[in-house]
Amino acid sequence: MTEMKVISLDIPVLPLLSEENFISGEKLSSELSLSRVAVWKQIQKLKQLGYHISTDARKGYRIISRPDILFPYEIYQNLSTAYIGQVIYYFPQLESTNIIAKQKVLNREEKVPEGTIIIAEQQNAGKGRLGKKWFSPPGGIWLSLILYPKLTPSYMPIITLMTAIVVAKIISALIPTIKVQIKWPNDVLIDGKKVCGILTEMSVVAKNIGWVIVGIGINVNNNLSEFPEDIQRNSISLKAVTGKEIPRRKLVQHLCVEFENQYERYKKDGFLFILEEWKKYNDTIGRIIEVDVGNRVIAGEAIDINDKGALILKTEDGKSLEIISGTILRYY
């Protein structure tokens, strides 16, 4: 097992610092009941993490700029959700956010609220669909979201479709000049290349879903030249599209807000709107495809998705097949 590198985030001075005003070391010391030396050490720690902090002997400290680090405190700022993203566990590096999320929901002593997020700067063994590895270098957004939907397992694919819609929406809002599409069931594409992958896992309790973990990986500021060659050909990042760095914290905030909006709407209105929204970004229906369903490869025309998120495939002999889970190998 890869050793997990965890940076201590016990830096209580951070919430008291701002870009607008200086705050004196004396006031920080008084507010936090810390010595002036302890305050100074925390300021140095923040500088080591990439915070640019102005220091004035008379005025104190003021933040000049913040690093592109996905600290929970930075994400919490101005986050307008009721529960999605209100609890965040942050890791600079780990094997897989889905693995940590699963450990937390299985730990009966730890009550993990719905909407809890596990987020990492880098994954060493990110999980993709069908056991595939998801390449997760620094610069992307790698997170897992914990949900407790009141659903039967047959509706699990809908959660995946909804998540893809959320990601497509926030990217479209960020870069309105590009066309974002979704390849069934879980790939978000730009110019036919993958910018985001989604992996959903669940438990079943008494024929109902006990918990769902939604793993989301978005290529944001990744350097594509560092990707393995076979992945590089079919991948794209938001930085590559825009030519500039994207503020990841804001993107995570937008994701939390949009996910909560969509999730609450499904609770109120059901799933029909999700199917309608998904079709707006569709890159699969109407195409001739080859899909790997695990034990065989099936070819035919993708003609629709049903109310449970399954793909309806019309084969050459005229039969209509329901594909609940699979990977599209080719499409024309």
pLDDT of residue 63: 96
Q: Mean pLDDT across the chain, nearest whole number?
A: 90
Q: Is 97 annotated as a binding residue?
A: yes
Q: Which two tokens stand for residue 226?
A: 């560092």
What is the per-residue pLDDT across 225-270, written as a single tens digit (0 to 9) for each?
877 777 888 899 999 999 999 999 999 999 999 999 999 999 888 8
Q: Is 96 annotated as a binding residue?
A: yes
Q: Is 107 annotated as a binding residue?
A: no
pLDDT of residue 5: 34
Domain 72-280: give its CATH code. 3.30.930.10
Residues 6+ apart with CB under 8 A from 135: 126, 227, 228, 231
Residue ranges per structural domain of the chain: 14-65, 72-280, 288-331
Nearest to 188 by CA among 284, 266, 122: 284
Q: Are 257 and 82 in contact (CB under 8 A)?
A: no
Does residue 133 register a pLDDT over 80? no
Nearest to 302 by CA among 328, 284, 321: 284
Q: Are 288 and 332 in contact (CB under 8 A)?
A: yes
Q: Where does 198-308 have alpha helices with state H?
A: 229-232, 238-242, 248-269, 272-280
**CB hemisphere CA count around 303 (13 angstroms):** 13
Task: Give percent of the chain above pLDDT 90.
Answer: 71
pLDDT band at residue 134 using 50, 70 and 90 as cut-offs:
low
Q: Does domain 14-65 have CATH number 1.10.10.10?
A: yes
What is the per-residue pLDDT across 33-58, written as a single tens digit (0 to 9) for each?
999 999 999 999 999 989 999 999 89
pLDDT of residue 7: 36
Q: Is 194 annotated as a binding residue?
A: yes
Q: Does domain 288-331 have CATH number 2.30.30.100?
A: yes
pLDDT of residue 60: 94
Q: Which two tokens stand for residue 151?
A: 């659903």
Residue 306 has what DSSP assignment?
-
Compute CA 126 distance to the chain's CA centroid, rounded to the nearest angstrom: 12
Does residue 116 register a pLDDT over 60? yes
φ, ψ of residue 111 in degrees (nearest 5): -85, 105
The Cα–Cα gap between 284 and 311 comes to 9
Question: Which pTM was predicted?
Answer: 0.88
What is the per-residue pLDDT across 87-114, written as a single tens digit (0 to 9) for each?
999 999 998 999 999 999 998 778 899 9
Task: Give percent of the chain above pLDDT 70.
Answer: 94
The Cα–Cα gap between 198 and 215 comes to 6
Residues 6+ apart with CB under 8 A from 71: 9, 14, 90
